């Protein structure tokens, strides 16, 4: 009987291949950087324009904006929710900034007002989820549609609104030496979001809420406040990215940010954050954003259309979600 019990215990602790693979992908940051090396090698071989300084600067600028949005998405997903409105927030905040600058408002004031707008949109999403009890998927989907409509309607014929303020453009696109200022913004925001998530009580509450909202509530965590705050942070960081994108384009485009919610989610899940919540890091998300940035750039250089790029990103997200489901089932 004792031998049989030991054998059963051994079988119980033995992990299935799916669980081992899922844990490997979820925990090892080495996997992310191995994937980066492989992608760089493949695209360097396939395109003579990939491994150039100017192209890498383009990747850094684009990746930085996606990563900033994805940091906010990381908070939301760790808390057990989802935010589909981030792309539309980018679009509406870029348009609002461009229209206000064109009307003569001080660019610095415009920046702060636009960031406040992003935070307010996030607050609206959080209230809809927590107080009205609409699922995050539906609440942010509705918000996504409304904001995109407002963005398109904000300019006659949905035309771009040119930004002629040198100060605004410099604050969002200038270089400090060889370093793009957006990379400095990315480093600062990475430090802040990582510190908050790993070194503060609020960060621990985010993990607890995503792990089990009921258990967290019984432990004294204000789950409602945590969920509202992660949506506010997501809206704020999306607005920040919208300002940077508008500065880079020197214009507000009604359709800017379209599809960025997919890029942000892909970066988060590729970075090892559990789609079911309770686990993840912004450092992993940065690695995921690098993969998405290099993949998008490389495929564009190879002439692949945006439609096929969406298919590939969708497949990536699907695989990551399936692995997450397998892990949860095996652990249960």
Residue 104 has a pLDDT of: 92
Could you tell me the pTM of the whole model?
0.88
User: Which tens digits make up the pLDDT trace of 8-56?
Assistant: 445 444 555 555 555 555 454 667 778 888 889 999 999 888 988 889 8
- Tokens read off for 189: 């925001």
Cross-strand bridge partners of residue 176: 179
Domain ranges for the chain: 50-331
Reduce the DSSP state of residue 177 to 3 states and report it: coil
Contact 85, 231 (CB under 8 A): no
CA dist list (Å): 50 to 43, 175, 178, 302: 6, 21, 19, 10
CATH class, domain 50-331, is mainly alpha
**CA 64 to chain CA mean position, Å:** 10
Residue 205 has a pLDDT of: 97
Cross-strand bridge partners of residue 244: none
Cross-strand bridge partners of residue 180: 175
Q: Give the rounded percent of residues in the chain with a pLDDT score beyond 70.
A: 89
- Tokens read off for 61: 């600028």
Neighbours of 132 (CB within 10 A): 8
d(CA 206, CA 131): 18
d(CA 260, CA 65): 10
**CA 139 to chain CA mean position, Å:** 18
Neighbours of 131 (CB within 10 A): 10
**What Rg value do the Cα atoms of the chain yield, rounded?**
21
The ranges of the chain with pLDDT < 70 are: 1-30, 324, 327-332
Contact 252, 161 (CB under 8 A): yes
User: Which tens digits make up the pLDDT trace of 223-271?
Assistant: 999 999 999 999 999 999 999 999 999 999 999 999 899 899 989 988 8
Residue 177 has a pLDDT of: 83
Residue 332 has a pLDDT of: 58
């Amino acid at each position: 009987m004792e031998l049989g019990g030991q054998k059963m215990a051994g079988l119980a602790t033995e992990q299935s291949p799916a669980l081992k693979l899922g844990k490997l992908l979820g925990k090892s940051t080495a996997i992310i950087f191995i994937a980066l090396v492989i992608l760089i090698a493949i695209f360097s071989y396939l395109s003579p324009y990939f491994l150039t300084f100017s192209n890498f600067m383009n990747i850094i600028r684009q990746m930085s904006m996606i990563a900033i949005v994805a940091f906010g998405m990381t908070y939301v997903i760790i808390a057990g929710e989802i935010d589909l409105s981030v792309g539309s927030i980018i679009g509406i905040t870029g348009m609002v900034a461009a229209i206000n600058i064109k009307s003569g408002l001080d660019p610095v004031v415009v920046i702060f007002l636009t960031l406040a707008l992003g935070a307010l949109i996030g607050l609206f999403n959080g209230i809809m989820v927590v107080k009205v009890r609409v699922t995050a998927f539906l609440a942010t989907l509705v918000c996504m549609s409304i904001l995109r409509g407002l963005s398109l309607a904000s300019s006659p014929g949905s035309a771009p609104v040119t930004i002629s303020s040198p100060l605004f453009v410099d604050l969002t696109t200038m270089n400090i030496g060889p370093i793009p200022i957006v990379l400095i913004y990315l480093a600062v925001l990475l430090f802040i979001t990582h510190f908050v998530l790993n070194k503060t009580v609020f960060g621990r509450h985010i993990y607890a809420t995503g792990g089990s909202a009921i258990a967290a509530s019984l432990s004294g965590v204000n789950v409602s406040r945590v969920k509202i705050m992660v949506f506010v942070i997501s809206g704020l960081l999306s607005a920040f990215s919208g300002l940077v994108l508008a500065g880079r384009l020197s214009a507000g485009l009604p359709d800017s940010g379209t599809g960025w919610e997919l890029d942000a989610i892909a970066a988060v899940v590729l970075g090892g954050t559990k789609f079911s919540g309770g686990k993840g890091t912004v450092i992993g998300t940065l690695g995921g954003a690098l993969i998405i940035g290099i993949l998008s750039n490389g495929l564009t250089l190879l002439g692949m259309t945006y439609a096929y790029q969406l298919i590939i990103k969708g497949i990536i997200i699907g695989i990551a979600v399936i692995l997450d489901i397998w892990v949860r089932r095996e652990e249960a």
